[in-house]
Chain A
Amino acid sequence: MPMEAVAEKISFSAIAPQDIAEFHRQRDKIHAAVIDRIHNTPGMEAIAGDEEKMRIAHESVKILIENFHATVKYQLPGALLDYLDWLRRYLRSRDFPAAFVASILTSMRNGAHAFLDEYNSDDLGAVLMELRRREERMAEGGAA
């Protein structure tokens, strides 16, 4: 199925430009928060204790945050879902837990709420929650 058809279910239109710009400015802090959560989440011990897996996790989180910013800014949900599908397959081939991408999205949502002090993180958070739910369905082998 063309990815852009699937993407119709997710919209970025509620997110204000200044909020995604602030998310981008705070990307290093959000990245650090996501990595920190990997170290402190039950079920993620196998990743936290594996140097190579943590290297992959760092890189994946960095690129996901960059791609989230670019695709929200330019209203390209299809491109983000395409990347998430690739990331899920890639991480699965590296023996990451099925729930890993959903966990990253949850951490990004928490990070957005924590670091977008004077900006609205609710709409960003709602989209990240929607993406997390989609990831959970996909991880369970369901449809998008």
Chain B
Amino acid sequence: MTREEQQNVFYECLREGNRRRCLNLVKEWEQQQLPDEQLYNDIIIPALVHIGEAWENNELGIVEEHVATQTIRTILGYKAATLTPRRTLHRSALVGCVPEEHHDVATMIMANILEKDGWQVMHFGGSVPRHDLFESIRRIKPDLLCLTMKSIGCLESTIELLSDVRATLPDTKILIGGISMPSVRTILAEYVDVIADDFQQGAEQAARLVNA
């Protein structure tokens, strides 16, 4: 099966809500040694983007869109449960969305990639208030704070959080992803160590930040 055929068959199964078939496809490709990064970048993310577009265009209802997202969560949970770290870094990473952000699938992927790279990962997902997130960061003192942001409405609370973390935990490295707009990246660059363009680059730069 070519990559395009893999993308198409996975998307069709996802759109039909066929969770079992989606999971079986992933297991089948796993046996064929498809690298996780390719599964995430070339198959899962494009499929989710298409599902999102179908919902935006009113071709899919909100329930069908949630079914697809939950199927992806199941797959990513399966990948998390079965992954074998390639090394041990003795470094901790707190991974999740910026305050008030709900789109957390990317954080699940990032958590899996970092864990595979040897990080001790704590993954909190999304929809966390700024105050609670800051208090937990202060208690946990992670070596790396890895956040994703999609909604521009989260910018203010994100900047407040990052300012507080910088002032309180200067040794904690901060990586953020999910931001495409240059002007937003310029604003956030002041508060973070790395703005990642993709998962793999994010993981590589995260390791570099802690000299791993």
Contact of A89 with B by CB under 8 A: yes
Q: B residues 177-212 with Cβ under 8 Å of A?
A: 181-184, 187
The interface size of chain B toward A, counting residues with CB under 8 Å, comes to 15
- Contact B184–A79 (Cβ < 8 Å): yes
Q: Which of B56, B153, B156, B183 contacts A89 (CB 8 A)?
A: B56
- Nearest CB of B to A77, in Å: 9
Q: Which residues of B contact A (CB under 8 A)?
A: 56-58, 151-156, 159, 181-184, 187
- Contact A93–B56 (Cβ < 8 Å): yes
Cα-based distance from A66 to B152 in the complex (angstroms): 9
- Contact A76–B183 (Cβ < 8 Å): yes
For the residues of B in contact with A, the DSSP-based class is helix
- Contact B58–A76 (Cβ < 8 Å): no
- Contact A70–B152 (Cβ < 8 Å): yes
- Nearest CB of A to B57, in Å: 5
Residues in chain B near residue A67, CB distance under 8 A? 151-153
- Contact A94–B58 (Cβ < 8 Å): yes
- Contact B56–A70 (Cβ < 8 Å): no
> Would A4 and B187 be within 8 Å (CB), given that A71-B152, A76-B152 are in contact?
no
If A70-B156, A76-B181 are given as contacts, then 11 extra A-B residue pairs at C-beta distance below 8 Å, sorted by A number, are A63-B153, A69-B153, A70-B152, A70-B155, A74-B155, A74-B156, A79-B183, A82-B181, A89-B56, A89-B57, A90-B56
